[in-house]
Amino acid sequence: MIIDAHTHIGKLPNSIYAESHEKNLGLILKEAKESGVDALIMIAGMEKEDGRNPTTQSLIDLISGHKNVYAVAGVNINYGKEYLVQLEEWIKQKKVVGVKFYTGYQHFYPNDERCLPIYGLCQKYDIPAIFHSGDTLAGYVENPKVKYSHPIHIDEVAADFPNLKLVIAHMGNPWLVDCAEVLYKNPNVYADISGMVVGDELKTAYGESMMRKIKELIDYTAPDFKLLYGTDWPLCHMKGYIEFTNNLGLGDDDLEKLFSGNALKIFKI
Ligand SMILES: [Zn+2]
């Protein structure tokens, strides 16, 4: 079983994904089917009009009726009270299976007090808080700052809230060593491998060095296995990414946790 735990149907400028969320949904469902991917977790944007990503409500509406497709709510850290009420409703009704924070894009640390009410909901309903971590996507918002998206800052939240499940997206690339320590130290922290190698990069020196770094992270955190499979579709494509993942040289147990076991446990889908 394969669960892609990190996908988007936002519009990607200058590509075949620039047109509409509806069209992108059709394209991702088709690619998942052709690639043998059984379930998709789709992440909403920052709850503000960025011209690219669907809001949480529009994502929920778009995927409703599609089996094995799940939504993660996006957080705009400058949210108002009504957002918290709405978020709790979505969670209760199982319309969302996690929440995502955009620290580097919105200039706040994971221990920011505005996060606390949302962490409260995550703990109450046992759903994960996901953080965009590491490098920020060029041209997505003006002036992103990576000091906020460094994975080391997840440690403080993990230590202070041992019952809160946290996911470091992209393993905090390029700070995989720091991510490894946060994973190793904190039983409540996981990371996804999405968006590491885009397109043709799989076969380049960069792709090979990424593979080496991921293996080092896995060795450091062993015998625990804390990674989730994800692509960051449409930035990375499914068949190539499955091949990349299979080439990491993992044993059957770890591969099963990576492709589905950890996602089933964390998202309870
Ligand atoms: Zn992403």
Q: Residue 42 C-alpha to ligand 1 middle, in angstroms?
A: 9
The answer to whether the bond into 223 is cis (omega within 30° of 0) is yes
**245 φ/ψ angles, rounded to the nearest 5 degrees:** -65, -45
The single residue listed with the structure tokens 């149907």 is 9
Q: Residue 53 C-alpha to ligand 1 middle, in angstroms?
A: 11
Q: Residue 24 C-alpha to ligand 1 middle, in angstroms?
A: 15
**For helices 116-125 and 81-92, angle between their N-to-C axes, nearest 10 degrees:** 10
Q: Residue 47 C-alpha to ligand 1 middle, in angstroms?
A: 15
Alpha carbon separation from 77 to 67, 102, 184 (Å, rounded)? 30, 8, 28
Q: Residue 130 C-alpha to ligand 1 middle, in angstroms?
A: 10
Q: Residue 5 C-alpha to ligand 1 middle, in angstroms?
A: 10
CATH homologous superfamily for the domain 3-267: Metal-dependent hydrolases (3.20.20.140)
For residue 124, give every residue at least 6 positions away whose Cβ sits within 8 Å of its Cβ, in sequence order, or none. none
Give the residues across from 70 on adjacent strands: 41
CA distance 225 to 214: 12
Q: Residue 170 C-alpha to ligand 1 middle, in angstroms?
A: 8
Residue 203: its pLDDT value, please?
79
Q: Residue 211 C-alpha to ligand 1 middle, in angstroms?
A: 19
Q: Residue 80 C-alpha to ligand 1 middle, in angstroms?
A: 24
**Are 229 and 41 in contact, with CB atoms under 8 Å apart?**
no
Q: What residues does each domain of the chain span?
A: 3-267
Q: Residue 256 C-alpha to ligand 1 middle, in angstroms?
A: 22
Torsion angle of C-alpha atoms 57, 45, 181, 257, degrees rounded to 10: 50
Least Cα distance to 48 among 90, 88, 10 occurs for 10
Q: Residue 187 C-alpha to ligand 1 middle, in angstroms?
A: 23
pLDDT by residue, tens only, the chain of 269 residues: 999 999 999 998 889 999 999 999 999 999 999 999 999 999 999 987 677 899 999 999 999 999 999 999 999 999 999 999 999 999 999 999 999 999 999 999 999 999 999 999 999 999 999 999 999 987 677 789 999 999 999 999 999 999 999 999 999 999 999 999 999 999 999 999 999 988 777 778 988 899 999 999 999 999 999 999 999 999 999 999 999 999 999 999 999 999 999 999 999 99
Q: Residue 173 C-alpha to ligand 1 middle, in angstroms?
A: 12
Q: Residue 252 C-alpha to ligand 1 middle, in angstroms?
A: 27
Please indicate, yes or no, whether the overall pTM of this predicted structure exceeds 0.75: yes
Q: Residue 52 C-alpha to ligand 1 middle, in angstroms?
A: 13
Q: Residue 254 C-alpha to ligand 1 middle, in angstroms?
A: 23
Give the strand order in the sheet containing 166-168.
3-7, 39-43, 69-74, 96-101, 129-131, 166-168, 189-192, 227-228
Q: Residue 195 C-alpha to ligand 1 middle, in angstroms?
A: 7
CA distance 211 to 95: 35
Strand locations in the chain (E): 3-7, 39-43, 69-74, 96-101, 129-131, 166-168, 189-192, 227-228
Least Cα distance to 59 among 105, 13, 7, 12 occurs for 7
